[in-house]
Structure 1
Amino acid sequence: MMSCRARRRFIPLVLCLACLACLASLACPDSRARAGSDGYSLGMSAAFTGPSDGLGVELYRGSMAYFTFVNEHGGVNGRTVSIRILDDGYQPGPAIDNTMRFLEGDEPLCLFSYVGTPTVTRVLPLLKGYGGRRKLLFFPFSGAEPQREPPYDRFVFNLRASYRQELAGLVDRFLALNRKRLAVFYQADAFGRSGWDGAHRALKSHGYALVGEATYRRGARFAESMKRQVEILMRANPDAVLSIGSYAACAALIRDARDMGLNVPIANVSFVGSEKLLSLLLAAERENGRDYTFNLVNSQVVPSYEDLSLPAVREYRELMDRYAPNAPAMAAREYAPVRYSFTSFEGFLNAKAMVRILEAYAASLTPGLGAAAESLTEADIGIDVPLRFGPDRHQGLDRVYFTTVRDGRFVPMDERQWRAWQR
């Protein structure tokens, strides 16, 4: 087998023979050589420790359930698929350092499933070129706009709908129920501001404005008090609260809001991590003897993992049960993996889509990974909605789903449940 150093000497010869399409490719010119004969390595920087660790761990576990299955059945064109993981704790600085590590030396084929807007937005400039190297980022766990707009949209492929789409869906629903006084609770960083902007735009399109807003600092834990934020929101007398944050902070807000008598609907966007949020609220219910799970709605960017009519859901549940992927060794020792979750299901779909792209990449005469992704203009991944990419479309899915809590779990929300909030 050719050594890494020998491969690097061989690369210029390959490039000299490559066609013009190769030079125009979105992928790093030597990405095919670096895939290696043994397998495809994907680089993932995410929160595997800290108060948002459940997002990185479950996204990784869902992806590994599918990649393990693929590898056991011959891999992609005879090559296995693996994820090289680095922990950033949901902090921009470590995410930048991790990305530079991926871009140096014998780096992965591409970047994959990064977690969070404050981290993703800070690494975007590196994708354009660092040390003469470029990498594409596939399927970040973020609905923010920077990776969807020039100049960075060329370097990022998104699977999920955007936060603007999630917030527009929630705003439209509440306005239809005559709940027009909407306030926001959001994380004071790029993620929270992206959500705030989505809510502001959606309301403005209907001639309304936010009636109040309260913020918190990234990294807040469930044990922290959100009473000051609740007081701010209560002064605005909202008909509903739009919550853009991580699960620990959002659960703390819900707990304190209900304790203080703010009982209007509270809506969280998909990033919150529904199952982790719910586990904190249920634990607080047992401790305090109060109901903290009423009048909740969470928007989602993937279908419910309870919808067994969908082939991908049945496959996801089967493979999660069969392989029960471990949490990474770097995760907290007391971390308890979740059997099924919207986060791990999204990771599973990320992996399914990535395999489809790698199959197109392996079969194509054009060595560009981006061109392979753009060739999937109508791909079926088993969720009743086709995956659509193209040269001018780097977001595969657009649909937004809504869920609420019933019998201790998040389930799809029906029209009757929406109408119960009619004013």
Structure 2
Amino acid sequence: MAWAGENFLLGMSAAFNGPSKGLGVELYRGSMAYFAFLNESGGINGHHVNIVPLDDGYQPDPAIENTIKFLEDDDILCLFNYVGTPTVTRILPLLKGYKGHQKLLFFPFTGAEPQRQQPYRSYVFNLRASYVDELDGLVNRFLDSGRTRIAVFYQADAYGRSGWDGTRKALAARNRFLAGEATYRRGARFEDSMKRQVDILLRSKPDVVLSIGSYAACAAFIRDARDMGLDVPIANVSFVGSENLLVLLEKVGAKSGRDYTKNLVNTQIVPSYEDLSLPAVREYREYMDRYAPSPPPLTVESYLPLKYSFTSFEGFLNAKAMARILASYEEVPTSGIRWAAEFIRNADLGINAPVNFSPGNHQGLDKVYFTTVRDGKFVPLDEGLWQSWRK
């Protein structure tokens, strides 16, 4: 049994520094809020659960190095909360076996397809909906609103291409095609110009732009798009990190006197953390307030933690689901953690969406939520706004 003393140790490789650090930090903080409560309450039959974080800066090579360290460390039970498609896709071959070491990956923060398909899907458990689910929902809602000229702005790597492909397939199912596309390089900062990408898309005369990128780059694109007169709805998928995106847009808006948050749509794969009717939301807010989890010590760059966010709420739910699996594993450790996970049935995380896994199904949830900005926060998108975009 992979315990270090009395603890379950989970290995997390993510961006804790660099332009995408907000994603790794907030996912970690949300999970630690739940684990702090769990450990304070006695853990799992006396065994505490802790995350061992390593920084990969949202870059594949460090993610590979971190994964090898986790695989070779017998105290690490499994991999958990990895962040990003370009990193996760590169470490998938290691999960099949590295010098006799083999471990499972639980709940990566990516909706890409490779870990949901053979030959890797048996080594990964996904809690979140896929990018295919998110983009299919966006494409169909916008097409139903009469906006048929859909363009994409995306990161030029496995993550962006996954979203680009998902958009194309969703359009093809409705006998439509991309109106235009523009890319940017991973690692772009908010200070970088996206005017060239905006100019490319302006020529395609889109009715809507779907963005598949990180929050710094997408915020830069939105800023330049609005400044250059591209005023159509712009939609981002959940990976973008809604609150981190909003901080940047409000900051530049305060300087220019312009509202850059108008006509934005962000898909989410968890409910709104403002929905206090949900038990998990009440728990999440209580534990985030009570424990105020800090960024991991290896976050050396300046970062102001968010009070609440969709990303940290996802981390919180990941931790709740992981605790259910660990409790089953602890009861019959000789059966292995895969067995414990594959026999989770109707697990109630408190969001009115039960989680189920089985040997043939490693996808726990598939619901997609649509949000927009109102009064300085992302809130559920109502039917009236969809109707206002009708052409």
TM-score by length of 2: 0.99
What amino acid is aligned across from residue 43 of structure 1 in structure 2?
G
1:389 counterpart residue number: 357
What amino acid is aligned across from residue 106 of structure 2 in structure 1?
F
The answer to whether residue 225 in structure 2 is matched with residue 257 in structure 1 is yes
Taking the aligned partners of 1:119 and 1:309, their CA distance within structure 2 comes to: 36
Superimposed CA distance per residue, residues 108-131 of structure 1 (whole angstroms, 9 cap, x where no aligned partner): 000000000000000000000001
Q: 1:339 aligns with which of 285, 296, 307?
A: 307
Identity %: 69
Superimposed CA distance per residue, residues 8-36 of structure 1 (whole angstroms, 9 cap, x where no aligned partner): xxxxxxxxxxxxxxxxxxxxxxxxx2224
Taking the aligned partners of 1:202 and 1:238, their CA distance within structure 2 comes to: 17
TM-score by length of 1: 0.91
Structure 1 residues 401-410 or 356-365, which shifts more? Answer: 356-365
Superimposed CA distance per residue, residues 286-342 of structure 1 (whole angstroms, 9 cap, x where no aligned partner): 111111000000000000000000000000000000000011122134210000000
State the secondary structure of the residue aligned to 1:48.
Answer: coil
Q: 1:271 aligns with which of 232, 239, 242?
A: 239
Q: 1:41 aligns with which of 9, 19, 25?
A: 9
1:211 counterpart residue number: 179
1:228 counterpart residue number: 196
2:130 counterpart residue number: 162
State the secondary structure of the residue aligned to 1:109.
Answer: strand
The answer to whether residue 326 in structure 2 is matched with residue 358 in structure 1 is yes
Superimposed CA distance per residue, residues 352-375 of structure 1 (whole angstroms, 9 cap, x where no aligned partner): 000000011112365210111111
The answer to whether residue 64 in structure 2 is matched with residue 96 in structure 1 is yes
What amino acid is aligned across from residue 205 of structure 1 in structure 2?
A
Structure 1 residues 359-368 or 36-45, which shifts more? Answer: 359-368
Aligned-residue Cα RMSD (Å) equals: 0.8
1:108 counterpart residue number: 76
| Superposition map of 1:373-412 within 5 A | 373-412=341-380
What amino acid is aligned across from residue 144 of structure 2 in structure 1?
A
Taking the aligned partners of 1:378 and 1:201, their CA distance within structure 2 comes to: 31
1:130 counterpart residue number: 98
Q: Any gaps of 5 or more consecutive residues in structure 2? A: none
Offset at 1:418? 1.0
What amino acid is aligned across from residue 364 of structure 1 in structure 2?
V
Q: How many residues align?
A: 391
Determine if contact 2:3/2:75 at 8 Å carries over to the other structure. no
Offset at 1:37? 4.5
Taking the aligned partners of 2:185 and 2:325, their CA distance within structure 1 comes to: 37
The answer to whether residue 240 in structure 2 is matched with residue 246 in structure 1 is no
What amino acid is aligned across from residue 172 of structure 1 in structure 2?
N
Structure 1 residues 243-252 or 374-383, which shifts more? Answer: 374-383
1:27 counterpart residue number: none
| Superposition map of 1:300-319 within 5 A | 300-319=268-287
2:158 counterpart residue number: 190
Determine if contact 2:4/2:75 at 8 Å carries over to the other structure. no
